[in-house]
Structure 1
């Protein structure tokens, strides 16, 4: 294709698609086309793997995960890195094809130029697979694998390559969500068995004087290794964005130099990192085009890449990051920062283990009428106008409601002091986006306790989406039959009118309107 075509994220141009020379996310036309070429290579690899299943190895699986993860929004802006991944994928395809069967390289135009309903369903599968690959990759690095999850990446990519009808593709869409639940369960097991069950933790937003490093993204393994390598070096570590929940894991809490959280959600980094006197380590999909004011202090690792930035390879030697922290020196005095609403601390650590440990208290409060409703307000944050809805929604929620939240969307309101209800904090941060698994666990447990279906619970999901991990979580919720979800700030551009009609008729998905109107509908 001569020009880029991309509509995989919420901020896509005109809520239709990014075309021309650059996308709204900042990636250039050539980068977008290389990501399409990588996706094509991955689909070809999956097709060959289906015919040569006996030859598939762990290396094949890692290539699939890394390739899909590389194409998630805000992961890689580096054409050279993407080109290397394409070559690795093509070489693996040739290596796998030992019987030399004739296969035709897949072309992405087959999706983008297809009938809009077929394009919509195949996009849901592809974007869901991209999001799920990120979760599977994090678990993979900790040594956790699941054959059903691994196998489905090949099945899903193969389905995209086929000339199937809507009726045949729709079950694959829902299966993507079903398998993603197993993937999130796998990552939850990997994280909790490695670092312990999260516990409620108050996290300061003040940065202490002296050298420090900011770690952003999602990968707890990178943070753990950095904490190990910075012991006794006089360098403090601060989380940013989706790394905030790390403070709640017992094994990570053991490091006294894990001090607090710097900044808010990913889309504010160009302002928050402006002239920051410390290096920033990017571990996953939260990288924005880098400004000159902090270009010399950005480091990437894993599949994250940006031209001319120092990349920490698989050996995970963070010496360049450590040296940069010592060189820059940090702030001269303790520096007080606040959240978006002026709060000086935030809380995290309300995973399923914590919430279910007080399930009796919660159930009793609901039966007494002290807790009227649970509102899961969370998901991806973003820069597009309209996201203040979530702040206002939480502020206007009645005192007898509890706000469950997760992912970076919580930074819109997680520093608010909403007090308590029935002895429980009204805002409970359940963790990263993948910790939607915790919310699902809690919902299922409450449904069992009240002897009802999940859709009959006093629980409503009000979700914000931005990128592909939010897509796979939405598919998971749909695969579980969860209805009455409010979605915003806009509906996905890749969902065609007919597919949207199916989702509305079968799952009663609603676009958000105003906080007042939606609260009235939810609470009656």
Structure 2
């Protein structure tokens, strides 16, 4: 096991025995094997795509397989054994597609022909050939770090692509570009310029994928509306839905209609409460709890059934809720019931067995739903406020939150921003400050919750539109970025921001561990990425730049 893919890896270092997330070495090794095979799948699929051919089943399996390897998603060794077997089948299908299309297969990378076996013992023996540090001695830490930047960027992009795919939105051109970059990675490249170029290509691809996801969400559920979301429970039996999958949430709402069960969102699903297509279910009563890293406390106190729909699962074995927890989609934990086929009856039955909340808690609500359509609906007002100097600065504060010390930085920065500024927020980093009363400017709340990390497309579109209306570039706006980095989705979003040429991003509380100081130096020099530091110093630098 050699895991550096997220900020919680052994408290910021490298996990070699067990991850801080609870991932075991055998599971980590199987994830490496799966990803190595998937690069081989893409090697064939990319050759086929160059000839205008594709296999829809291969394209559908690809983002799902990559997604299962993200931080806090799938910890189930048996599921990975099955996924590896499927991946080998998909590689054969992709090869057949390439052969049928007349592709030249004379120069294939190792992952296209590598056979790791299928049994647990065979996979354990094969794991060193898939380990990300395999070429550390040959190529050096900077090259391996850059390859990991590509690898983790692809992981994050795959997660967003899978969110869009399960809602019926996918494009052959997106799949082809994903395969192209993954096939490039399969060659174990060593050229620094090429690796940096492909990292930015992932940023461009991820922008398109986030656009697909935005279209998937808004087509199915409508554009988010400004909504006062209840954050405290009400009396009655209850189901808590966590993760990112609004399609699963919709099915759960349909299957629980009329059963006397209240449905709550948790963590990343908080923005779902602002979508008209979901708000129409009266038994979607609000959000319970905070960010993902608080789930053990939140789940332990929740007196109903709990369903994890995508990612951010934490070890449930040390708490009392394992017997009322269910997983679905890419999520898995050995011994926890996994629901398939959108059949949530076992979780619903468990909710009906449990007592639920015995009384209403004092009502507390927070505003949500300030996505692109909402913000652009008041664009004239916002531009007028900027023109008059009543809004002097905009701050984008948020990203993937975590449990390590230093993350109060984002809370303290939000509260320290001048009262003539607006704070746009995305991701579960907003839970650091979204219950604080920061007032408003001419009726516009100073904190505008634009959704989750997958809603970064909205923030980008708003920034581009405001810059266009003011006749300047995005980097010339009085818009400052303080982004909390955590895992692979954040890596993909960061690469998108770099692809767009956005500079002076304050990133923290630590910079990605898989990049060496030399590689970070290149990114800092080219994009002026700035590690978060002292709140007062950083804020002064931001305001001076404005």
Q: What TM-score, normalized to structure 2?
A: 0.91
**1:392 has 2:398 as partner:** no
Specify which of 147, 172, 175 is matched with residue 150 of structure 1.
Answer: 175
Q: Does residue 461 of structure 2 align to residue 441 of structure 1? A: yes
Tell whether the 8 Å contact from 2:427 to 2:452 is kept in structure 1 after alignment.
yes
The answer to whether residue 254 in structure 2 is matched with residue 228 in structure 1 is yes
Give the deviation of 1:275 after TM superposition: 4.7
Q: 1:254-403 counterparts in 2 under 5 A? A: 254-290=280-316, 291-313=318-340, 315-336=341-362, 344-403=364-423
TM-score by length of 1: 0.95
Residue 336 of structure 1: how far off its partner (Å): 4.3
Corresponding residue number in structure 2 for 1:133 = 158
After TM superposition, give the deviation of residue 94 of structure 1 in Å.
2.0
Shift of 1:16: 2.9
Number of the residue aligned with 2:63: 65
Alignment map for 1:29-178 (pairs within 5 Å) = 29-53=25-49, 56-98=54-96, 99=99, 103-105=112-114, 107-109=129-131, 112=134, 113=136, 114-162=139-187, 163-178=189-204
**Inter-partner Cα distance in structure 2 for 1:133 and 1:500:** 24
Structure 2 distance, partners of 1:441, 1:50, is 30
Secondary structure, counterpart of 1:287 in structure 2: coil
Pairs within 5 Å for 1:405-444: 405-444=425-464
**Which is further off, 49-58 or 257-266?**
49-58
CA distance in 1, matches of 2:195, 2:418: 42
Q: Which moved more, 1:466-475 or 1:274-283?
A: 274-283
Cα deviation digits, residues 292-350 of structure 1 (max 9, x gap):
4001011000010111111111x21110011011101201111348xxxxxx3222100
After superposing the two structures, state which structure 1 stretch, 409-418 or 283-292, moved more: 283-292
The SS at the match of 2:239 is: strand
CA contact (8 A) 1:111 1:122 kept: no
| Structure 2 unaligned regions, length at least 5 | 116-128
CA contact (8 A) 1:371 1:422 kept: no
Q: In structure 2, what is the equivalent of residue 341 of structure 1?
A: none
RMSD: 1.5
Match of residue 122 from structure 2 = none
How far apart are the structure 2 equivalents of 1:86 and 1:194?
A: 33
Work out the CA distance in 2 between the residues paired with 1:274 and 1:142. 31
Q: Is the 8 A contact 2:293 2:402 kept in 1?
A: yes
Structure 1 pair 105/336, CA: closer, same or farther in 2 (3 Å)? farther
The whole-number CA distance in structure 1 between the counterparts of 2:362 and 2:20 is 32
1:9 maps onto 2:6 in alignment: yes
Give per-residue Cα distances to partners, 1:189-240, cap 9 Å, x unaligned: 1110110000111111121111010000111100000011111000010000
Q: Is the 8 A contact 1:77 1:307 kept in 2?
A: yes
Distance in 1, matches of 2:451 and 2:94, equals 39
- The whole-number CA distance in structure 1 between the counterparts of 2:372 and 2:12 is 35
Distance in 2 separating the partners of 1:304 and 1:13: 22
**Take 1:275 and 1:167, find their aligned partners in 2: how far apart are those partners?**
51
> Does structure 1 residue 471 correspond to structure 2 residue 496?
no
Residue 149 of structure 1: how far off its partner (Å) = 1.6
Tell me how far apart the structure 2 counterparts of residues 398 and 475 of structure 1 sit (CA, whole Å). 29
1:18 corresponding residue in structure 2 = 15
Aligned 8 A contact 1:375 1:459 in 2: yes
Identify the residue that residue 199 of structure 1 maps to in structure 2: 225
Q: Deviations over 1:405-446 (max 9, x none)?
A: 011110000011111013210000000111110110000001
Aligned counterparts of 1:49 and 1:249: Cα–Cα separation in 2: 36
Give the Cα–Cα distance (whole angstroms) in 2 for the partners of residues 240 and 109 of structure 1: 34
Shift in CA distance, 431/275, structure 1 to aligned 2, threshold 3 Å: closer
User: Given that residues 365 and 371 in structure 1 are in contact (C-alpha distance below 8 angstroms), is that contact kept between their aligned partners in structure 2?
Assistant: yes
Q: Which residue of the partner structure matches residue 125 of structure 2?
A: none
| SS of equivalent residue, structure 1 residue 288 | coil
Q: Within 2, Cα distance between the matches of 1:430 and 1:110?
A: 35
Q: Is the 8 A contact 1:38 1:86 kept in 2?
A: yes
Distance across 2 between alignment mates of 1:379 and 1:185: 18
SS in 1 for 2:300: coil
| Stretches of structure 1 lacking an aligned partner (at least 5 in a row) | 338-343
Give the conservation status (yes or no) of the 8 Å contact 2:296–2:319: no
